[in-house]
Structure 1
């Protein structure tokens, strides 16, 4: 029976895999940054420097980390690709029989920042207000029993050079991840990605997907009963089928059950669009969709347009379940903000800001790989953080706390 690898061995192997193509000093920086992020759970270079505990003044360590954070010889694209190659085999085992690939946008609010580059107006979801800051596009895979595997995170700003549009940024992230996920993976997008250009590009990529539609958008759909607006179709469509869902409470320690009323329409088409962006009155788009509507989760119904061929209430229920799995990525976004204090990032260069977001993503990725490894080892680490109650199913917070306490001791041979 092979010996269980220590945390130190797994951490070193992880750094070598994702940073194997880096210039050696850059690989050293990658190792030190991930070590500091996990141990002190902060994106501040001073906190990362304290975790390193070097035999010199902290200011010298911080300056060296700052130089490396913006080092032009650090190849971000190579690190991103090597990470995807590392995690891709996991998406092809029994824990991800048909992985759901969730795509989401989150914000990094910096309302008091003045000198940080390319700040622009973003919607702060936690405070429900518009503030200055940045946005992050995240891609994550969801498997059986809510298993998570982060795939990609990129910071972007509408004020940055080379920015085209939010859709273009998201599609670039999707195109980067596509070659590394199984062909039968099912992609899920929230409202905000229901533009005709976005749909067309997804069709060109050849993926299967579902997108939540905004009722406020006066989009027309061509149905077997004729052409009508989405809002009109939702009002006229009966939802005679009951579908029970089960989802985790916000704190991640319990489950809640709810019964939804579901209806669906098959053989739905979007209108063909002219080069000027106007919908054609006669021609239909080639892609055939199904529309699924579910009521019972809030004041507004859940409206999902999907490439799945929905013919039965069971098919419709599966589409609803798949879409609800997407909410897990919002929990992951919350974890990266709270677990690593991401919104406290203070880099003063655009390269440094984007790289720090990637480093936080890699730290989260290392935790995810631990969770997909020996369960006893993970529970032992998570339980080392003293808290009330058993280790929860979403154990990343406790795992990070426990790992932070143990990492320095395990760097020379772990538990």
Structure 2
């Protein structure tokens, strides 16, 4: 069988990239991985029918689909390609980069035949969970670098906990990058629970900044148990700066002179500071507190971030961590949006191992597009320390 696409000169670059990922594999496995990466890239889909059609083989389409499905079940390929991709990407990671952890659900509400998609009764845990880790350089904030993706089901026999899955992925990336960077866990739809906070604080070699989603979470401060919400509203925040946030309707209609449906820039005052807390008894950890206010919104927004292994002694260090967090939010969104272009939520394969392998192959394609081909970039930076270009909204004078 001959694929006209693989023989095309237009596919030389992506074939060269996939060849780097398949070193050490047998001829059949290497060719299959190459076909899948090229096929996913061309088809913009994870459906085997679309991938097979994009390859343009001189055999019946059903024969190509059957062959691809059979090879998806080859043992060891998921780990081999994931490891090879991480090894390749880690060489590009420098100590100034952020490592951004994004965690999200892959719901499958109407699917019943996919393996481990749901338990005996309907539950919010139905479907799968995906973790992506990407790198981003603040000096080049439009270009992100996909590193690792991990997909799991809470109903799989080997499942222990989300914390176990997350820490396994983070430790793998930390090892590959030789501990050069700080991991950022930005505000997102799916956030790790309190047990994860405790595990993170006790991890000896991880440097992290984690957004604390649950404001009812409690930490020990000077011998007293305090809720995050209480700490955020009662702690004096010594530092202040001006930040600029892009907001969208309907919020923009609350701004003077704004009645259209266009995004607008909102200047905000950001007050921030830190204090020491105990998440684990006897071990002090830094909690960064932040309050954001704007002229057109009387309600202050309080946020908190748990920081481990990172210097927080000066205003500049705290400010850099907060600004990096906003970049991490943009990066996490970009990683998810990039995969959305391939309609990941609509993927349909019956077995768990095939689904996990497809997720790894998609990660390889996003790496190729974002870093090798440079055809995908982060276009929107929601919060910045300088005014966004193209917006003429007057800057507030309430802060300095």
TM-score by length of 2: 0.78
1:84 to 83, 86, 94: 86
- The alpha-carbon deviation at position 226 of structure 1 amounts to 5.5
Q: Is 1:53–2:56 an aligned residue pair?
A: yes
- The alpha-carbon deviation at position 214 of structure 1 amounts to 3.0
Q: Is 1:185–2:178 an aligned residue pair?
A: no
1:324 to 326, 334, 342: 326
What is the CA–CA distance in structure 2 between the aligned matches of 1:172 and 1:352, rounded to whole Å? 20
Residue 135 of structure 2 aligns with which residue?
141
Residue 218 of structure 2 aligns with which residue?
219
1:102–1:326: 8 Å Cα contact kept in structure 2?
yes
- The alpha-carbon deviation at position 246 of structure 1 amounts to 4.9
2:291–2:300: 8 Å Cα contact kept in structure 1?
no
| SS at structure 2 position matched to 1:184 | coil
Residue 206 of structure 1 aligns with which residue?
205
| SS at structure 2 position matched to 1:220 | strand
1:148–1:368: 8 Å Cα contact kept in structure 2?
yes
More moved, 306-315 vs 34-43: 306-315
Gaps of 5+ in 2: 1-8, 249-261, 381-400
Q: Is 1:353–2:380 an aligned residue pair?
A: no
**Aligned CA distance change for structure 1 residues 47 and 299 (closer, same or farther; 3 Å):** farther
CA RMSD between the two structures: 2.9
Q: Please list, as runs of the form range in 1=range in 2, the aligned pairs for 1:278-289 lying within 5 A after superposition.
A: 284-285=282-283, 287-289=284-286
**Aligned CA distance change for structure 1 residues 316 and 133 (closer, same or farther; 3 Å):** same
What is the CA–CA distance in structure 1 between the aligned matches of 2:146 and 2:88, rounded to whole Å? 12
What is the CA–CA distance in structure 2 between the aligned matches of 1:194 and 1:299, rounded to whole Å? 25
How many residues are matched? 345
Q: Is 1:270–2:279 an aligned residue pair?
A: yes
1:186–1:207: 8 Å Cα contact kept in structure 2?
yes
1:363 to 357, 362, 365: 365
**Aligned CA distance change for structure 1 residues 162 and 46 (closer, same or farther; 3 Å):** same
What is the CA–CA distance in structure 2 between the aligned matches of 1:10 and 1:199, rounded to whole Å? 45
- The alpha-carbon deviation at position 68 of structure 1 amounts to 0.7
- The alpha-carbon deviation at position 268 of structure 1 amounts to 3.1
Residue 345 of structure 2 aligns with which residue?
343
Residue 401 of structure 1 aligns with which residue?
none
2:291–2:301: 8 Å Cα contact kept in structure 1?
no
What is the CA–CA distance in structure 2 between the aligned matches of 1:246 and 1:27, rounded to whole Å? 48
What is the CA–CA distance in structure 1 between the aligned matches of 2:265 and 2:33, rounded to whole Å? 40
2:275–2:286: 8 Å Cα contact kept in structure 1?
yes
- The alpha-carbon deviation at position 342 of structure 1 amounts to 0.9
More moved, 150-159 vs 112-121: 112-121
Q: Please list, as runs of the form range in 1=range in 2, the aligned pairs for 1:283-298 lying within 5 A after superposition.
A: 284-285=282-283, 287-296=284-293
Residue 32 of structure 1 aligns with which residue?
35
What is the CA–CA distance in structure 2 between the aligned matches of 1:343 and 1:291, rounded to whole Å? 35
What is the CA–CA distance in structure 2 between the aligned matches of 1:262 and 1:215, rounded to whole Å? 20
Gaps of 5+ in 1: 1-5, 122-128, 273-283, 372-377, 383-390, 396-415
What is the CA–CA distance in structure 1 between the aligned matches of 2:61 and 2:300, rounded to whole Å? 53
1:101–1:188: 8 Å Cα contact kept in structure 2?
yes
1:135–1:157: 8 Å Cα contact kept in structure 2?
yes
**Aligned CA distance change for structure 1 residues 206 and 145 (closer, same or farther; 3 Å):** same
1:119–1:132: 8 Å Cα contact kept in structure 2?
yes
Residue 306 of structure 1 aligns with which residue?
307
- The alpha-carbon deviation at position 220 of structure 1 amounts to 2.1
Residue 23 of structure 1 aligns with which residue?
26
Residue 243 of structure 1 aligns with which residue?
241
2:201–2:285: 8 Å Cα contact kept in structure 1?
no
